């Protein structure tokens, strides 16, 4: 199935776009799209880009460092919503985004992924008649107990333009009667990884800082709500200890603020296996450097599953399902939940290296995710949509 083709945009010469972001993965996805918009401006198109930060991720290690490191446009406003229940967060965001939409009157809103920021940005815009483009549309875990699943389903059924990262995502949208609003563009996360990987190898000193030069290790992140519940987190940490014991490898655990709070409140950090090394959350460039050097990664992050695929590092996913089925089909991702037998089988498969080749995995990721040109296709799709909506002579 072909990706959206590049093309000219008739009489459309000017537009104002509002980009709504609020969480670490969205900052990463914003970077290549913002760069693609900059290329259009260099080509003569007048594009006013406004970034609205909801403040969903507010810890400097999860927010400010990404704007600094990735050269993102400074947010015109930060709603500073912070933590809270899903209802509290979404309600405060909805009110703040609506106020900004009224003040700025953008031609379209771009939202990313599956967070409360995504849903709030979409709801506020569609209620005011402002078109919404959803980047990373069509992903489905088919687990409706996940807040992220509900957010993306609602966003896809409300948004005007659905930009699918993969053929599987496009097929999901068609199965829900949304084909007419959908386009296959590829995954902007691949664009971001490709831009960051060479830079990380060149600039990052994180391996030296962590004492990992020339050392084999595994990389760990845990942040999903279901895995950080007080009744579940001890089992997750016990599983990490099992991995450290069975592999003999140090585990570099970049601890999300939510996870660290739960661990400290229950004094769980003192019972960790001695081979588990806790670190602060890493910057994007440092995270890509560590990920590329690791023997494998253990995570419950959707984004890290893809990033591992893109740099050729095997992944073990500590969830019962994944949205990124192509990573499993390629043999790059082992979805084990907290099942010890499935975990042991995954570790054996990674250790044996059967049917595994890093270069082939990287090539597969490029094929699945659009070859690193997804951001240009996203911008093309939005431009085409606005041209068709406004007609010539705008």
Q: What would the two tokens of residue 286 be?
A: 């440092």
> Token match 């609020």: residue?
22
Q: What would the two tokens of residue 32 be?
A: 């290549």
CA triple 111-112-117, angle to 5 deg: 70
Chain CA centroid to CA 158, Å: 21
Say if residues 58 and 80 touch (Cβ distance below 8 Å). Answer: yes
- Residue 223 CA to residue 238 CA, distance in Å, equals 16
Say if residues 167 and 184 touch (Cβ distance below 8 Å). Answer: yes
Exposure b/e, 318-351, CB count within 10 A at least 16 = b: bbeebbbbbbbebbbbbbbeeeeeebeebbebbe
- Residue 272 CA to residue 249 CA, distance in Å, equals 14
223 catalytically annotated? yes
Q: Of residues 53, 197, 223, 384, which has the active-site annotation?
A: 223
Catalytic residues: 223
């Amino acid at each position: 199935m072909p990706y959206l083709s590049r093309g000219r945009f008739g009489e459309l010469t000017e537009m104002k776009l509002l980009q709504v972001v609020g969480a670490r993965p969205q900052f990463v996805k914003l970077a290549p799209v913002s760069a693609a918009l900059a290329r259009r401006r260099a080509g003569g198109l007048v594009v006013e880009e406004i970034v609205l930060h909801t403040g969903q991720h507010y810890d400097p290690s999860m927010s400010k460092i990404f704007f600094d490191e990735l050269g993102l446009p400074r947010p015109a406003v930060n709603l500073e919503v912070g933590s809270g229940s899903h209802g509290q967060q979404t309600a405060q965001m909805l009110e703040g985004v609506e106020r900004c939409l009224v003040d700025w009157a953008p031609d379209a809103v771009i939202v990313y992924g599956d967070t409360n920021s995504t849903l709030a940005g979409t709801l506020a815009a569609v209620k005011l008649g402002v078109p919404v483009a959803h980047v990373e549309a069509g992903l489905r875990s088919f687990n409706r107990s996940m807040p992220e699943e509900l957010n993306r389903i609602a966003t896809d059924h409300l948004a005007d333009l659905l930009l699918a990262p993969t053929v599987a995502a496009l097929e999901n949208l068609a199965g829900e009667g949304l084909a007419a609003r959908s386009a296959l563009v590829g995954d902007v996360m691949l664009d971001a990884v490709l831009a960051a990987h060479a830079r990380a190898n060149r600039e990052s000193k994180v391996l030296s800082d962590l004492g990992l030069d020339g050392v084999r290790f595994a990389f760990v992140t845990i942040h999903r709500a279901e895995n950080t519940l007080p009744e579940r987190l001890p089992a997750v940490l016990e599983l990490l200890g099992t991995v450290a014991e069975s592999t003999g490898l140090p585990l570099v655990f970049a601890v999300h603020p939510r996870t660290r709070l739960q661990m400290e409140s229950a004094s769980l950090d003192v019972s960790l296996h001695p081979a588990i090394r806790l670190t602060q959350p890493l910057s994007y460039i440092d995270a890509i450097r560590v990920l590329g050097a690791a023997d494998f990664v253990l995570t419950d992050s959707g984004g890290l599953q893809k990033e591992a695929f893109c740099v050729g590092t095997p992944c073990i996913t500590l969830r019962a399902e994944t949205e990124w089925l192509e990573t499993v089909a390629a043999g790059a991702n082992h979805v084990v939940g907290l099942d010890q037998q499935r975990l042991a089988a995954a570790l054996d498969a990674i250790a044996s290296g059967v049917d595994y080749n890093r270069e082939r995995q990287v090539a597969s990721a490029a094929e699945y995710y659009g070859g690193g040109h997804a951001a240009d296709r996203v911008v093309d799709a939005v431009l085409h949509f606005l041209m068709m909506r406004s007609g010539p002579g705008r």
